[in-house]
Amino acid sequence: MNANPLLQAWNTPHQLPPFDQVQAEHFEPAFDVLFAEHLAEIDQLAALNEPASFENTAAAFDRSGLRLERAQLLLDNLTSSETSPELQEVERRMASKLAEHRSRIYMHAGFFARLDAIHAQRDNLSLNEEQGRLLDLIHRDFVRAGAKLQGPARQRYAEVVSKLAELTTAFGQNVLADESEYALPLTENDLAGLPPFLLDAARAAAEARQLPGWVITLSRSSIVPFLTFSQRRDLREQAWRAWTGRGEYPERDNRPLAKQILALRVEQAKLLGYASFADYAIANRMAGAPAAVHALMDQVWEPAKARFESEKAMLREEAAKLGEPADIQPWDWFYLAEKVRIARYALDDAEIKPYFGLENMIKAMFDVAGRLFGLSFSERHDLKLYHPDVRAWDVSREGKVIALFLGDNYARQSKRGGAWMHVYRWQSRNGGETLPIVVNNNNFAKAGHGQTLLSFDDVRTLFHEFGHGLHGMLSNVEYRLVASPNSPWDYVELPSQLMENWALVPEVLEKHARHAETGAAIPAELVAKIKAARHFNQGFETVRYAASTLIDLALHERDDADGIDIAAFETAERERLGVPPAAGMNHRPPHFGHIFSGDAYAAGYYVYMWAEVLEAEAFGAFEEAGDPFDPELADKLYRYIYSAGDAREQRAAFRAFRGRDPQAEAMLKSRGLR
């Protein structure tokens, strides 16, 4: 056991995990030790003879379980970014055990009695704002984890949480398997319309799978360009059906799992006195209640459908010119929309991509962070990381290293789809200064030769995740449990969505958007075309997002614990809402990992649009100042948004930055819905 690297000190730069030493078989025995160690810490805090105080209760709790958290964060990151059958088996076995351990901690009667006592006295404890937030956060989390339940209800709550962890893990693994195993092979006869960048990526994907020719995968950076450019309608349909059918393949059907998850969530919510899981989940977010979410979505849904219909009319005109069927299907939309974009805006994605090489865009986002926040990035080539594609940078501010940043940008079979930010360690000063280790994950199709070129949507994704990354790297708080981005999920998307705006700042583009072959700066007229076309297709995009959001809400607003027929419910809701068949949804329930691979976004897919309201208002401040790098605003952005985490109440923090409460009008205009 002494040789287990998960139980040793990590004498590495920044205490980075020793990736080359850790094996799948190390996790379970280490967790057994670390569970006992963490529980002993809480037992000791509960047994203190001295009266409960903020320092020996809330602050001490914030310092507890650090070695367990270190191992758990490593497992979380590896199973998402570089998994294996062995790690997936560990993930399956440990899911319920980790949930059971959390219940033991958060239902610890002795510790909660002390915590509850000081929380009742919090107004008399002379706490500063951050200390008050920490105390409220810990107490709230204990209550929401069932600490006040008694008898059979207490035991049942722990059982429900454990089973949910097991089911959500299985759900996510099924989607990953569907994504990693699928390959649409192409021959010379199947390539009509495909641009060189896609052919290069498709050949690289085929080589990675040891297949001849070219391969289209279910990575978004592969499937969307294929749907956009392929002239083969039959193959577009085949690819689209595979993409939207994830999670319901017969051998890995997620619909029964989703039914069980929903039933258990209803039971979980009712045990705590909530009418539905949506009420339970949203009570912990800025929105506060489902009614507030519906009030926002009501402003969006009908205008989005109306705009979609006008876009569909444009696509029908284009289909007639091309001799394509007038009955537009979902697998036709991307293809025809690209034709309309070229015809109406003279904007061709294949023309754009040479100006957006991945390497240059990384430099662009680092440049933005430098100008806004005074950050500098120094690449490390001496670190042993978990995959050859991963890169690392020391991040410095005012001459001091404040974080380690990892960039993992390419799709591979051992990595789940999508894009996300995570941490290997949170920032803190409680018990000693701890620097954050932050990782950004994307799934760009890696070029077989030359530069990896990005669509402008890919560039926005890169900047989006970097916004999350900055939130973690710039965290500047005392206590790790309120460190950025530990904040409500409908606020945590603000720093990420806000950062997307700088991807279109002219001086950033002029400096970094350089042609892959000639090195020439992107022409001003091409930038103008990109901006002019921003509202094009927003009906389609908004309908797809809003449909997924509204069905997520409807699923979680149910108050029955018997479960439902997922397929029938989806069909009925789409009909009730009037979801246009040609639009589809961003995510269908069988592969909706946001809401079924965990509970962070359950009843919460709306958070992106909620944060978009905040983001449109926030960038509006820079637009009003006439300077996207206005020093005074940048300083406020750092103090009130990126560095504050949950140490300050979010409405107050936003008001301090913007000078007023946010309104939805700016968001509606930015989407072209006004």
Which sequence positions are flagged as catalytic? 465
Hey, CA dihedral for 550, 556, 561, 562, is it positive or negative? positive
The residues near 370 (Cβ < 8 Å, ≥ 6 apart) are 376, 377
One-letter amino acid of 87: L
Q: Are 647 and 133 in contact (CB under 8 A)?
A: yes
Q: What is the rounded distance in angstroms from the CA atom of residue 189 to the CA atom of residue 49?
A: 79
Task: List the beta bridge partners of residue 397.
Answer: 375, 400
How many helices and strands (H and E) does the chain possess?
28, 7
Hey, CA dihedral for 476, 482, 483, 484, is it positive or negative? negative
Residue 431: name the closest of 124, 40, 48, 41 by CA: 41
Residue 214 has what DSSP assignment?
A: E
One-letter amino acid of 536: F
Q: Are 501 and 659 in contact (CB under 8 A)?
A: no
Q: What is the rounded distance in angstroms from the CA atom of residue 638 to the CA atom of residue 207?
A: 44
- The DSSP element (H or E) to which 186 belongs, if any, is strand 184-186
Cβ neighbours of 86 (radius 10 Å)? 12
One-letter amino acid of 555: L
β 437-444/400-410 pair status: parallel
Helices (H), 219-254: 220-229, 233-244
Residue with tokens 């560095």: 643
As a three-state string, the secondary structure of 283-313 is: CCCCCCCHHHHHHHHHCCHHHHHHHHHHHHH
Q: What is the rounded distance in angstroms from the CA atom of residue 70 to the CA atom of residue 159?
A: 25
Helix crossing, 233-244 with 330-345: angle to 10°? 120
Residue 42: name the closest of 90, 110, 93, 98 by CA: 110
Quote the radius of gyration of the chain (alpha carbons, Å).
Answer: 25
CA angle 312, 313, 314 (to 5 degrees): 90
DSSP code per residue over 498-567: HHGGGGG-HHHHHHH-B-TTT-PBPPHHHHHHHHHTTTTTHHHHHHHHHHHHHHHHHHHH---SS---HH
β 437-444/420-425 pair status: antiparallel
Measure Cα distances from 526 to 224, 509, 513, 530 in Å: 22, 11, 11, 6
Helices (H), 25-128: 27-46, 60-63, 66-81, 85-106, 109-120
Q: What is the rounded distance in angstroms from the CA atom of residue 650 to the CA atom of residue 363?
A: 31
Q: What is the rounded distance in angstroms from the CA atom of residue 335 to the CA atom of residue 319?
A: 10
Q: Are 425 and 434 in contact (CB under 8 A)?
A: yes
DSSP code per residue over 385-427: -SSTT-EEEEEEETTEEEEEEEEEEE--TTS-SS-EEEEEE--
Residue 455: name the closest of 605, 541, 338, 616 by CA: 338
